[in-house]
Chain A
């Protein structure tokens, strides 16, 4: 949890205020600092002062008087108070700085934002939270990037304020980061995220709210329930039934002494009480008893906690038998009935919990796996490395896929009929594309020689041109075709060569370090290349024709924390958005127009196994839909996630693969995806 130590300013700030030479404050009663920090709790002694007098009070030696003066100034809305308030952002006392930030936020649109953005770097959380709130009040003028950064602040109150601020940006609200905030370690932030998402109304998918509805914290669950009922009223009946079932199960458990836990105890935030406090150990422990003398006369069973297993707690029937020497038959019968009651209660609770679980699974299935599989091809030749979907102009059909198997054969299948069409090869396929120019492959023919082939529908493949590259021994170049198939880029170590198949012209670009990933822009004019020199990892954008680094919108390089393992450029929005997967599994989208970067799956615990230390990554794939509205990414466990480009929300997942994904591609109509896992299983699937 983000509570930081902060500046505690202990005794000097307790109830007594600093000696005040000014009679104005000395006559006032002391107030708790909790009030003084916000200029509250005192009679409004400063309310009659003129602006100049209030501004003079900003130099008062008592910080609480300075705060009070600021509270008065913020109501004046005079242009002349802006500068003094900006100066107060540098006051020595955090309460004054926070009050100044808050006041600037209340003054409206004429306030310069730079000082408030700078206040986000203040060491005190109170000031940062106030600055975030002030920026959030600028609404249409609010800068997005600082607010998104504040969502990652160490302090939970700052993140809470940032969540509210981001949620109040209207159409500009970044729903992805807000959805990610649902996984924040602090309940207050998760609760705020639910409300912020609620502000977006039906723009958000229901899935994140359903997750929040099962949050470990009651306040978050309650907030999610309210928002769901407002945004998706069709679910309210279902939730009522869920709630009543849960309560019934809980009641049964209480009767039996069973401890009922949240739906997902593993998701309990780390902010909670010391873990041992809530560790449920049904066995009896020595420390659970108040020390008593052995001769106290208290029987064993009276000291036992409820609900412990029979091996550690004698059941009532066993106790009855123990005392049975003097018990009547009626008592024994009663004991037997009592013994059965807990069993019945537990069984009832188990049935209800199981029912709830099944209902949840059914709901999850409904919301998450609205996908169907249309074609399945398990390769028995050691795997499939590349895959491509036919372009309409190339084959007359969008229902054909080509894939390269480990034996070098390129197979073409018709998806609609499931029929084999043709195979080519063998090749050592480095890259494959099936654009308007037809099916093309780049094949490694020998040491340092790469051959390009035009396959298409012709009876015999056309040899396009051999290209010689200086390849180090046992190295494989990284090869990527341009979208239209007219250019191909080869990366060897830090050198990237671009071959133009239309005029056999070669362009070379020397990168910053070893290239780990390449991506062509949709128009073929630019290339994004990712580097890793072992210490620094960057992404660079450069001109595919000239080989020169393009004049960037903001800055030429994007620094990333881990190695980029795959990259894809959005076909929409003038090549503004570049998505990439890092070796820690993080899928990020860099919006070069806005200058922002956000993670789609930062809080997904299953995204990758090797975060620390940064590894070489894992087989993964990334592809934008043809319209640029959706992005498909993969996890280390082979789950394919499809994201909403506009808001960063996860639309649906596909879980039929059990191994990491080698490659995937969207059909040209955006309705199907072909994906290949490292075990050689090829699946064509899509929404149904």
Chain B
């Protein structure tokens, strides 16, 4: 994530309302997509993200100014959302999503820079991404979450570690193992 975005946020730290509006405009959609991927249900995902932002507002209200200034907002929001997703999963007693959302809706929420590509490129990229996502979804839980956050959510190892409340070394090891398994699976696909 561009550090200048967080710098801009820090400049709004004195005004909680403006800070919060900026947070929502920046991260609402990517958190929603993240939640959809994890929960497999758009409605549940929107509820989770809405609650995450409401809790974020309460927290921001109560944070000292200096803490708002130094907040790594994106990772912080992911952390709040991640905890709510886990609670949602625990509540519903359902297993973590086995097949990712590869619906048309999720491709509509791709990153901005992908919208300038041609239809064929876009289709190929989306198809490729769906293939990778499908492979990631078949990873064991412990690797799937880390790999998904690291690659699809574009979070750093440290941010993933903070979100999942794990040592950064553990995250790196799991990313390494997960990618190794993915490579193996991709190699297998190409030989079939």
Check: A34 CB closer than 8 A to any chain B CB: yes
- How far, in whole Å, are A388 and B20 apart by their CA atoms in the complex? 62
Given contacts A40-B17, A192-B62, A307-B173, contact A1 B87 (CB under 8 A): yes
Closest 8 CB pairs of A and B: A34-B53, A164-B62, A290-B185, A250-B169, A260-B169, A254-B169, A260-B167, A157-B58
> How big is chain B's contact interface, by range?
35 or more
Check: B3 CB closer than 8 A to any chain A CB: no
Interface contact A216-B165, CB-CB below 8 Å? yes
User: Which residues on the A side are within 8 Å of B64 (C-beta)?
Assistant: 195
Q: Which of A4-12, A482-490, A567-575 faces chain B?
A: A4-12
Interface contact A32-B58, CB-CB below 8 Å? no
> How big is chain A's contact interface, by range?
35 or more
Q: In residues 494-509 of chain A, which contact B (Cβ within 8 Å)?
A: none
Query: Closest residue of chain B to A186, judged by CB?
Result: B83
Which chain A residues have a beta carbon within 8 Å of chain B's beta carbons? 1, 3, 5-6, 8, 10-11, 14, 32-35, 37-38, 40-41, 126, 129-130, 133, 156-157, 160-161, 163-164, 187-188, 192, 195, 216-219, 223, 250-251, 253-254, 257-262, 268, 271-274, 276-279, 285, 287-293, 296-298, 302-303, 305-307
Interface contact B165-A34, CB-CB below 8 Å? no
User: Which residues on the B side are within 8 Å of A11 (C-beta)?
Assistant: 43
Given contacts A3-B84, A41-B24, A161-B62, contact A260 B170 (CB under 8 A): yes
User: Which residues on the B side are within 8 Å of A33 (C-beta)?
Assistant: 50
Interface contact A157-B59, CB-CB below 8 Å? yes
Cβ contacts A to B, 25 pairs, < 8 Å: A6-B51, A11-B43, A32-B28, A34-B28, A35-B24, A156-B55, A187-B165, A217-B165, A250-B168, A251-B169, A253-B169, A254-B173, A257-B173, A260-B169, A272-B165, A274-B86, A274-B141, A277-B141, A278-B170, A288-B143, A290-B182, A296-B188, A298-B188, A302-B184, A303-B184
- How far, in whole Å, are A40 and B62 apart by their CA atoms in the complex? 18
Which chain B residues have a beta carbon within 8 Å of chain A's beta carbons? 17, 20-21, 24, 28, 43, 46-47, 49-51, 53-55, 57-59, 61-64, 67, 76, 79-80, 82-84, 86-87, 89-91, 96, 135, 138-143, 145, 161-162, 164-170, 172-173, 176-177, 180-182, 184-185, 187-188, 191
Given contacts A164-B62, A292-B184, contact A157 B55 (CB under 8 A): yes
Given contacts A219-B162, A277-B142, contact A133 B61 (CB under 8 A): yes
Q: Give chain B nearest CB distance to A169 CB in angstroms.
A: 14
- How far, in whole Å, are A40 and B89 apart by their CA atoms in the complex? 30
Secondary structure dominating the interface of B: helix
User: Which residues on the A side are within 8 Å of B53 (C-beta)?
Assistant: 32, 34
- How far, in whole Å, are A310 and B96 apart by their CA atoms in the complex? 32
Interface contact A32-B24, CB-CB below 8 Å? yes
Query: Closest residue of chain A to B49, judged by CB?
Result: A34
User: Which residues on the A side are within 8 Å of B55 (C-beta)?
Assistant: 3, 156-157, 188
Q: Give chain B nearest CB distance to A473 CB in angstroms.
A: 55
User: Which residues on the A side are within 8 Å of B177 (C-beta)?
Assistant: 288, 305-306
Q: Say which residue of A32, A38, A278, A290 sits within 8 Å of B142 (CB atoms).
A: A278
Query: Closest residue of chain A to B176, judged by CB?
Result: A306
Q: Give chain B nearest CB distance to A537 CB in angstroms.
A: 34
- How far, in whole Å, are A133 and B63 apart by their CA atoms in the complex? 12
Query: Closest residue of chain B to A2, judged by CB?
Result: B87
Q: Give chain A nearest CB distance to B159 CB in angstroms.
A: 10
Q: Give chain B nearest CB distance to A433 CB in angstroms.
A: 50
User: Which residues on the B side are within 8 Å of A293 (C-beta)?
Assistant: 188
Interface contact A160-B59, CB-CB below 8 Å? yes
Q: Say which residue of B49, B138, B167, B184 sits within 8 Å of A250 (CB atoms).
A: B167
User: Which residues on the A side are within 8 Å of B51 (C-beta)?
Assistant: 3, 6
Interface contact A40-B87, CB-CB below 8 Å? no
